Amino acid sequence: MVQTLGLFSSTALVAGSMIGSGIFLVDADIARTANSPALVLGAWVVTGLLTVIGALSYGELAAMMPKAGGQYVYLRESLGPLWGFLYGWTLFLVIQTGTIAAVCVAFGKFLGVFFPAISTTHWLWHIAHVPPVTVGPMVLGNMDIGVNTANLTGIVIVFFLAFVNMFGVKLGSMIQNVFTSAKALSLAALVLLTLTVGRNATAMAANFGNSWTEFWKNSGWSSLHPVQVGIGGPIVFVNLLVVLAVVQVGSLFSSDAWNNITFTAGEVKNPRRNIPLSLIMGTGFVVTMYFLATLGYLMVLPMHGDPHGATALARGLQFASEDRVGTAALEVVFHSGGAYLMAAAILVSTFGCANGLSLAGARVYYAMSQDGLFFKSVGKLSEKYKTPSAGLFVQACWTALLCVSGSYSQLLDYIIFAVLVFYILTILGLFVLRVKQPGASRPYKALGYPVLPALYIVMASWICIVLLRYKPQYTWPGLVLVLLGIPVYLFWSRRPALRTQE
């Protein structure tokens, strides 16, 4: 591979892969569950802390092993090839491809703001509706299979980005730099507007009150919060630590994909320096912007509102129309023009996010193929551009299938827990490698080791335990998808031995 990505491009890949549409949507659900302005912001503090500690820890692994495949390589080297494969398997099956599908279809949905013919209800070929079926903690089905104008737009974007990234990482990174810069400026403009000229007196009084009394309401240690166990399960009342863990489903997902830069390590200039720096700068910027954006929402929209309210201000943060909090905030500031401004910002954001995910993901499948654990053709680079063209094409095909099946959103719900488990295992691998390879070159050592990495493991493990107990629909299905990779691994790992025998 050709080392093309400099520090700016690497940082743009980190930030650009993180910023999608989540920050403009998930705060509504967080607000409904936490029911406190302080806890809504507290959720982002927890997410920011976890993300930055994770980036600091991954920096050591990236500097130690600057190879294509990133996290797959770290798990393989620290815990063994099975764990590396299970991560790569889950990444291909759902994590990377499902996220690309969700982001590209979101692009289609928001393009429909400007072109109403593009819609999830405008079917070109409706194959079937799969009714919901309850299997243990899982609710399967409840999806429409076929092609509508929104997911067709998404599929076009999927293949377009795969095609573009086949022409070298330099072109892909240039697109990434442009779109990351544009959406960073858009997000900064949203923050500036909501924190200054857009502040609303009604929202300020409702969310902060005199001397911040309303801000801290329902956020004490003795406060209890209703949480529904599973889907259709009983309502239970939980404390502060539990509710902050429950709402991480939304905030952590919105902040995910920061590790994608490690996948492209083989194409980063001076990777032992630039990857750790890009991880720290990229995650630091994004988590700060996310916190400030949420603070801005609280200054424009009251926490509570009427779900049947006629205006964005009346519906409030909890009941923003279709959970489009960013759109609701700009509607209060700019009235009717707000929806168009936010739609334009999200189009830029989702396109750049999808490009970063598309570019990075194929490098993992390339590394897996090099180890004999994926299709042989995926392990080859194009002669002229030195890119994993076959990996990009295979990734695009599977992503397009997820778009048509309508299953990507449900699969992503299932996999959030598994993603967090792999982060825990990778940071655990940091400790393992300190023991197994004490003399290995470590140009950068994890800041705060061993305290901060240990804190990450404790905090993330607590979130996993809480999700297992209170949100089984987000946990057990993800574990099943991961475990399905074990027989696949046994099949792939036997192939070299079979070829040797022949």
Position with higher pLDDT, 399 vs 139: 399
Q: Which pair of tokens denotes residue 398?
A: 């599977």
- Concatenating the DSSP letter of every residue in 333-390 gives HHGGGHHHHHHHHHHHHHHHHHHHHHHHHHHHHHHHHHTTSS-GGGG---TTT-S-HH
Q: What is the pLDDT of residue 488?
A: 92
Distance CA 495, CA 502 (A): 11
Lowest mean pLDDT among 4-18, 112-126, 139-153: 139-153
Mean predicted confidence (pLDDT) in 186-201: 93
For residue 26, pLDDT over 50 is answered with yes
- Per-residue pLDDT, 141: 64
The pLDDT, as a whole number, for residue 138 is: 61
For residue 472, is the peptide bond before it cis, meaning its omega torsion is within 30 degrees of 0? no
| pLDDT number for residue 293 | 96
Q: Give the least confident one: 42-51, 52-61, 86-95, 141-150.
A: 141-150
* Average pLDDT of every residue of the chain: 90
pLDDT over 70, % of the chain:
97
The residues with which 5 forms a beta bridge, in sequence order, are: 268
The confidence score (pLDDT) of residue 348 equals 93
Predicted pLDDT of residue 2: 80
| Mean pLDDT lowest among 40-54, 162-176, 420-434 | 162-176
Does the pLDDT value for residue 453 go beyond 70? yes
Write out pLDDT tens, residues 325-359: 999 999 998 877 778 888 899 999 999 999 999 99
Which pLDDT belongs to residue 499? 40
H or E segment and range at residue 228: strand 225-228
pLDDT at position 495 is: 67
Q: Which helix (H) or strand (E) holds 127?
A: strand 123-130
Longest dimension (CA), the chain: 80
> Domains along the chain?
7-302+312-375+391-501 (1.20.1740.10)
Model confidence band, residue 500 (pLDDT cutoffs 50, 70, 90): very low
The pLDDT confidence band at residue 502, using thresholds 50, 70 and 90, is very low
* pLDDT of the residue at 428: 97
